[in-house]
């Protein structure tokens, strides 16, 4: 490629010209398609290499354990840029989510050095970290000899940075005190409303703004839409039922899962305000949810929305994003809206799921693994994924300001940017960090199932749940 072409893409990579200037310049020079993508990747790699020795581990191969996900697709789509930048190779195993976390646990618990780094959710690190299975990444982030000065850790959204750090003390606030950075955020999802615009227009309703309105809108859709039910939320006997829409709404009312009393954890699900919230949530599912709600996971909630079987979902915004494309029947018909369940709340406070990258304590090439991890979480790779792939939601504030990314989303996903921008300041993990997370949160989901099935009243169900959880906390020395 001639100097003029190289200079054009280098100027864009260095943010000295706009996207429009790049497109105009590339058109005048006759550059398009594959050639343009290659030139862009090359320019970004050169920009990254300016102030850091990316070749320090040239010739080494990093082995990754990955969950099947669009974030992984984006990484694979950009992997040649990493290889060119570092001279390293990358090998990986990819598994579907229904078996993925078992694979991670097996590798870590056996102290295997097979994998150097892996994908994880932040909740999982509450087990992995205290067990000594993963590294505190502060050691790497704060070392200028190991970390590119342009890594811009402060550019990662603050709620995500704090939500992936914990000091290991049950009940302590995430990101506080001497918290260890058990993983680095890679991509995330917050929970708001995705709705079918055609169905909403048909029955004459607008996206609900609080929980009372959601009950009313969902009921009207169920009654008048001619088949679709009102609202999709998760219901399976799993911790994953509690963490998306449910906890986002629960936290918006100022409610907590646990409180600290005398240095001990105590269940807080049976307060008067919590019981009022549960009563409405249960009534919403009974009257306007799917018939087989107790089997519903991420996949069923999303599939129904994409097929036009539900009028809206209160779940991950990226789930709604994916349902608006591909082969889904309702692609192009979906809209997005922020949701603050509490009418007195100033803004949404969504709980988040954070796909993150962690380093195995049993890796024999940790510095090389960190070279890959900081590249995968870099501004440059975030930009590639956001602009060229379905890498939503990026974790970096600067990427959310990128004009090319925002133009692409605004064109086909009406309301998506607005719901994110309004919600991001209050988006974080609202669970209390503690080592019994999965067991206790799954028990919460099981109790919710019994309430919806009318096997137990909300009042009695929550009192029994709190009693059971307090007993388990005491047995574990936490309560």
Question: Distance between CA 75 and CA 62 in Å, rounded?
Answer: 14
Q: What average pLDDT does range 440-444 have in this prediction?
A: 98
Question: Distance between CA 479 and CA 473 in Å, rounded?
Answer: 5
Q: Contacts for 259-264 with beta carbons within 8 Å, 24 or more apart? A: 260/171, 264/473, 264/478, 264/479
Question: Distance between CA 260 and CA 388 in Å, rounded?
Answer: 46
Q: Please give the pLDDT value at position 85.
A: 96
Q: What average pLDDT does range 228-232 have in this prediction?
A: 98
Q: Please give the pLDDT value at position 39.
A: 57
Q: Please give the pLDDT value at position 252.
A: 98
pLDDT of 429 higher than 70:
yes
Whole-prediction pTM value?
0.90
HSE-CB of 308 using CA atoms within 13 angstroms:
15
Q: What average pLDDT does range 23-35 have in this prediction?
A: 59
What's the whole-number average pLDDT of the chain? 93
Contact between 234 and 241 under an 8 Å Cβ cutoff? The reply is yes
pLDDT (tens digit, 9 = 90+) per residue, 325-338?
A: 999 999 999 999 99
Strands 89-95 and 61-67: parallel
Residues 6+ apart with CB under 8 A from 421: 400
Instruction: Give the percent of the chain with pLDDT over 70.
Output: 90
HSE-CB of 335 using CA atoms within 13 angstroms:
16
- Token duo for residue 364: 């024999």
Q: Dihedral angle at the C-alpha atoms of 368, 373, 378, 381, nearest 10 degrees?
A: 100
pLDDT of 46 higher than 70:
no
Q: Please give the pLDDT value at position 51.
A: 76
Nearest Cα to 92, choosing from 128, 67, 122?
67
Q: What average pLDDT does range 426-431 have in this prediction?
A: 98
Instruction: Give the percent of the chain with pLDDT over 90.
Output: 89
pLDDT of 1 higher than 50:
no
- Token duo for residue 252: 């918006």
CB atoms within 10 A of CB 314: 28
Q: Please give the pLDDT value at position 31.
A: 64
Give me the helices (H) in 135-210, please.
138-141, 158-163, 197-203
Question: Distance between CA 382 and CA 399 in Å, rounded?
Answer: 7
- Token duo for residue 27: 């058109």
pLDDT of 28 higher than 70:
no
Least confident piece of the model among 14-23, 47-56, 110-119: 14-23
């Amino acid at each position: 490629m001639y100097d003029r072409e190289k200079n054009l893409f280098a100027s864009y990579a260095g943010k000295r010209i706009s996207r429009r200037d790049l497109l105009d310049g590339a058109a005048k020079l006759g550059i398009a398609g594959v050639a343009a993508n290659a030139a862009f990747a090359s320019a970004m790699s050169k920009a990254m290499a300016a102030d850091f020795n990316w070749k320090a581990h040239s010739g080494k191969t990093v082995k990754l354990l990955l969950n099947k996900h669009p974030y992984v697709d984006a990484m694979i789509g950009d992997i040649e840029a990493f290889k060119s930048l570092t001279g390293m190779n990358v090998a990986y195993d990819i598994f579907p989510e229904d078996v993925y976390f078992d694979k991670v646990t097996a590798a870590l618990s056996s102290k295997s050095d097979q994998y150097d780094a892996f994908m994880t959710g932040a909740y999982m690190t509450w087990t992995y970290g205290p067990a000594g299975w993963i590294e505190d990444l502060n050691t790497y982030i704060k070392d200028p000899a190991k970390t590119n000065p342009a890594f811009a850790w402060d550019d990662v959204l603050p709620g995500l940075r704090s939500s992936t750090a914990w000091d290991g003390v049950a009940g302590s606030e995430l990101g506080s005190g001497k918290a260890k950075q058990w993983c680095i955020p890679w991509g995330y999802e917050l929970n708001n409303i995705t709705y079918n615009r055609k169905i909403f227009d048909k029955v004459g309703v607008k996206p609900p703004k609080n929980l009372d309105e959601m009950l009313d809108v969902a009921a009207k859709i169920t009654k008048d839409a001619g088949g679709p039910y009102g609202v999709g939320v998760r219901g399976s006997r799993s911790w994953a039922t509690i963490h998306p829409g449910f906890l986002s709404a629960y936290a918006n009312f100022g409610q907590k899962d646990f409180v600290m009393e005398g240095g001990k954890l105590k269940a807080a699900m049976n307060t008067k305000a919590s019981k009022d919230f549960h009563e409405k949530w249960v009534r919403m599912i009974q009257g306007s949810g799917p018939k087989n709600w107790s089997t519903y996971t991420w996949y069923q909630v999303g599939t129904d929305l994409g097929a036009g079987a539900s009028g809206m979902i209160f779940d991950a915004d990226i789930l709604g994003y994916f349902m608006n494309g591909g082969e889904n029947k309702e692609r192009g018909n979906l809209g997005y809206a922020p949701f603050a369940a509490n009418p007195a709340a100033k803004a949404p406070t969504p709980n988040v799921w954070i796909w993150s990258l962690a380093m195995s304590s049993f890796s024999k090439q940790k510095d090389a693994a960190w070279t890959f991890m900081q590249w995968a979480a870099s501004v440059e790779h975030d930009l590639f994924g956001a602009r060229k792939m379905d890498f939503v939601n990026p974790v970096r504030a600067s990427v959310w300001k990128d004009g090319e990314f925002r133009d692409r989303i605004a064109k086909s996903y009406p309301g998506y940017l607005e719901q994110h921008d309004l919600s991001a300041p209050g988006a974080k993990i609202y669970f209390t960090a503690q080592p019994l997370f999965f067991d206790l949160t799954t028990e919460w989901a099981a109790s919710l199932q019994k309430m919806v099935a009318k096997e137990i009243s909300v009042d009695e169900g929550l009192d029994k749940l709190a009693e059971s959880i307090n007993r388990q906390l005491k047995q574990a020395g936490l309560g």
